[in-house]
Amino acid sequence: MSNPASTPPSGLPSGTAPKESRRWLKPRVPKEQLYRLSPRRPKPKRLGRLERWDWVRRAIRTWWIWLAVAIAALFAGYWVATAITAALSFFFYHITPESHAAVYALETDLDVESPEFPITMAGMTGMPLVPGNQVALFNNGDEFFPAMLEAVESAEHSVTMEQYIFWDGRIGRRFAEAFAEKARSGVPVKLLLDAVGSSTLGEPVLKILEAGGCQLAWFRPIHWYTIVRGNHRNHRKALIIDGKTAFTGGAGLGDHWLGKAKTVRSWRDIMIRVEGPAASVQQSGFAQNWLQSTGEILTGHDYFPVPAAAGDINVQTILSSPFEGTGAAGTMHLIAIQCARRHLHIANPYFIPDARVIDMLGHACRRGVAVKLMVAGEHNDTWWARQNSLRLYGKLLEAGVEIFEYLPTMLHQKIIIVDDAWASVGTANFDNRSLALNEETSVCFHDRALVNQLHETFLADLERCRKVQLARWKRRGFWQRAGEQFASLMEDQT
């Protein structure tokens, strides 16, 4: 009987042994093999054409160019120039997001009402669609703060929260007292605060929490030896009760969310409450960041109870993190835009889309989608974001997008509604920082009644807006335009 090991493979001459390939010793795949066996298909049109100023801005923000200038200045003996350019190189290196954004449109007739849409969304974001939930929407602080406090007071097993903004003030101290009271009753209370967004929390609130026995950890505190990771922030606003009820949305714990958004001091915002199995997804996001910040693993029924249906709504909770490289929140927005067929309504305070998104919105308008964009107007807490948004109005208007600026106060909600069939409420702004650099949360649902409720809210807010006209936008003065171009150097950070 012949030895199978000595039998040459089919196609080789008898008695000839293949010579061992030592290609693996090379540091790279040979160039001629890179695309040798890749599937052949027509190359789709790439989204996002960059203009001359876009290339200039990119060059200015390229860290290695500044490093080369620093080295040249060093050899030339210009010490001051060396220090300045080296600092700029260091700065731009650490603020540049490491993302791999989609640059090709979907080649499909998929729409949001098809059964394939939620499956596609779940597959591309890595976040499942969870059935059996009850969902409620709350407008402004006078609605969502009492509901959140009531939930804290009803907690029996655990209270967890990850929060970008927790500030001293009436609402901050009220929540601190509620957390402390619950902790004194024996319920574990764990709070994870962003070390930048909540850096002004203050001693009074900390003393209340400490006296009650609450646990508090800081997400990525800034030190000289941690500067390289300081650009990644936790922008989530998640409050989870017993692992069964979860709140999220645009609002932090600060006094400017109190009221009904009728004055400049009362911000306009929306929060969403999820009761049921989908709440555990937000708990999972908290637990992962808590582990990263404290080294503690959360286990057991107190934090992850056995799932029990609380309603009949399917919910997809998208947890976005810069460590994924693509940003699930950004992927969610792109898929929603490309699948819109009738209308696309977006409310977001900081709308700074890149060239790809502008192209996608233009394509949507050309295929008959009514695209309405509601943004913060003159009442805006961030000058940089306001200028970068204004700078892009022209491209958006020329593409067919209708833009509305909210007039009464700061608009801060982050919602997207597609074809009265699908919607999302979350924490992510429509800018590079949220879509590529921050931890974010978005709650998505297909429930028709809930989507219609959110749509009616959008239309009511639209009546308090001023529509932006292209002709008026073009009449902006020189200094306004100069300010916009200056702010664009920091568009990745706004």
pTM: 0.83
Catalytic residue among 232, 237, 345, 379: 237
The half-sphere exposure of 98 on its side-chain side, counting CA atoms within 13 A, is 11
Q: Are 441 and 369 in contact (CB under 8 A)?
A: no
What is the rounded average pLDDT for all residues in the chain?
A: 88
Catalytic residue among 359, 414, 461, 492: 414
Catalytic residue among 168, 194, 242, 492: 242
Active site residue 412: yes
List the beta strands (DSSP E) in 422-492.
422-426, 438-445, 465-467
* Cα–Cα dist 420/447, whole Å: 9
Q: Are 398 and 369 in contact (CB under 8 A)?
A: no
* pLDDT tens digits along 164-175: 999 999 999 999
Q: Are 323 and 351 in contact (CB under 8 A)?
A: no
Q: How many CB atoms lie within 10 A of CB 118?
A: 18
- Residue of 240, 230, 169 whose CA lies nearest to 205: 169
Catalytic residue among 232, 256, 345, 412: 412
pLDDT at 321: 86
pLDDT at 63: 82
Mean pLDDT per block of 10 residues along the chain (494 residues) reads 51 56 55 66 64 77 86 90 88 66 62 90 91 97 98 97 96 97 97 94 94 95 70 92 98 96 95 97 96 94 95 95 74 92 95 89 94 95 91 95 97 96 95 84 95 97 97 94 85 66
Active site residue 419: yes
The half-sphere exposure of 235 on its side-chain side, counting CA atoms within 13 A, is 29
Going from the C-alpha of 62 to that of each of 3, 96, 388, 489, the distances in angstroms are: 61, 8, 19, 11
Active site residue 168: no
Catalytic residue among 269, 354, 359, 419: 419
- Residue of 490, 57, 488, 78 whose CA lies nearest to 69: 78
Q: Output the six-digit token pair for 283.
A: 């708990």
* Cα–Cα dist 69/82, whole Å: 8
Catalytic residue among 182, 190, 232, 235: 235
